[in-house]
Structure 1
Amino acid sequence: MIRLLIADDDELTRAGLCALLSIESDLDVVAEAADGTEVLPMVTALRPDVVLMDVRMPALDGIQATRLLRAELTEPPKILVITTFQNDEYVYEALRAGANGFLLKRAKISQIAHAIRLADAGESLLFPDAIRTLVTAHLAPPVAVPRPSLTVRESEILRLMATGRSNTEIARTLVISLETVKTHVANIFNKLDAANRTQAVIIAYETGIVTPGIADIWPGNGT
């Protein structure tokens, strides 16, 4: 059973998500927060597996709440931010802060449930096109920061991660074992100080390891 916390300042949205997600046999809504200030105490007390986090809340927004969870907890829950607009600057900042992925409020409940299951399983909900759009809109190149010291193989894997490929798909593309991919991904996270795949990809764009529009050009992917 996946334990959920829903944080949204809109009571109708919060109630609707709670009611519809509770129907799913493997999802259990254990708490509802009306503002980001309530999230950390609830997470500490109830230990949900996944937090659905509205990015725009009055006292403490989803970005600040995400940073707080990452800073205060050794094992924070997976975080999926919810937004009305895909290109919202708040979304970009939330992903930079360590959110695992984002969802649009107009998404079908089946899509939201699927995203929750992916996040709980450790797979970030990564939309390559959306991430590139966000980076293009909010990143002001060039960024004068040191480029992390990745090996050639790690750089290859990071570029494939930026196209939205899973570990299994990366293993198949590079003709290496799944365990080898997992080891490389763990090393990438460590070198980039990234909490998850989405944050790693954003850091890759910010440091120039991956260039928007180029990550998709890969032998065998049909481009």
Structure 2
Amino acid sequence: MTKSQRIRVLIADDNRAVRIGMRLQLDNAPDIEVVGEVGNGIDAVMAGRSEQPDVILMDLQMPGMSGVEATKRLLDESPHRPAVIVMTSFALEGYVRDALDAGAVGYLLKSHDSERLVEAIRTAHRGDAVVSTTMMTPVLREFVRRGRGAQLDVSAATLSAAELRVTVTLARGITSNEDIAQHLCVSVHTVRSHLQSALKKTGLSDRTQLALWAVRQQLSVQDAAQSS
């Protein structure tokens, strides 16, 4: 993979230790290139314009200008529209709405989602939503309310009853394979298998998109039961 083919990432966070930690993770990914690090919202806007990153990891609370305002300015004023992933320590629904209003494609909690940072960047670069597992339900509601994501015209009838149960559970905010398995009293292998099958049948690319699709379809536990 050539340098020009890599996903260009800008890190915006006022905590230097956080920036270093993110860079260490991303430097190990062969398809990702960190093109800049900034510590405040004003510099985030300037670097976003000059470096034209594909993805920006944007802290919500920074001096000079908030991450929400920086995101809004970048996406409103620049012809180059990067995918902005909000990175925050706060699991509050008000912050979700503000971030999505500004144009962010996702919302991750620093404390819970650091291990999936590389995959989150790849997902955002593909144009898919990126959602913290902790904030799955409110973020999904906001995406659906705004008409974003998972708009495929795929009938829920294409899924088996078991696949529907797993999908509905995922959409309710129970996101790890282990937690879904415990909730449904099945094995982790069974959950993994049903999720893979559901993704294949719907043509969706990841679990977040599958959950978005389920919410848009207004699927419920009753739907899964009726398919049994």
TM-based fold match above 0.5: yes
Extract unaligned runs of 5+ from structure 1. 140-157, 176-180, 183-196, 202-209
Partners of 2:61 and 2:40 in 1: CA distance: 9
Matches within 5 A, 1:115-126: 115-126=120-131
1:171 pairs with one of 146, 150, 154: 154
2:110 pairs with one of 105, 109, 120: 105
Matches within 5 A, 1:4-153: 4-87=9-92, 89-126=94-131, 130=135, 132-133=137-138
Q: Are the counterparts in 2 of residues 53 and 82 from structure 1 also a CA contact under 8 Å?
A: yes
1:218 CA displacement: 8.0
1:116 CA displacement: 0.6
1:217 CA displacement: 2.8
Q: Are the counterparts in 1 of residues 91 and 134 from structure 2 also a CA contact under 8 Å?
A: no
1:133 CA displacement: 3.8
- Matched with 2:183 is none
Partners of 1:131 and 1:105 in 2: CA distance: 15
The count of corresponding residues between Structure 1 and Structure 2 is: 168
Extract unaligned runs of 5+ from structure 2. 1-5, 159-201
- Matched with 1:217 is 220
Partners of 1:109 and 1:127 in 2: CA distance: 10
Give the greater-gyration-radius structure (CA): 2
Specify which structure has the bigger relative contact order, considering alpha-carbon pairs within 8 angstroms and separated by 6 or more residues: 1
After the TM superposition, which segments of 4 or more aligned residues of structure 1 sit over 2 Å from their partners? 88-92, 107-110, 126-136, 170-175, 214-223
RMSD after superposition: 3.7
With normalisation by structure 1, the TM-score equals 0.62
Partners of 2:224 and 2:132 in 1: CA distance: 16
Q: Are the counterparts in 1 of residues 109 and 132 from structure 2 also a CA contact under 8 Å?
A: no
CA 1:33 to 1:221, structure 2 compared with 1: closer, same or farther past 3 Å? farther
Higher helix share: 2
1:127 CA displacement: 5.8
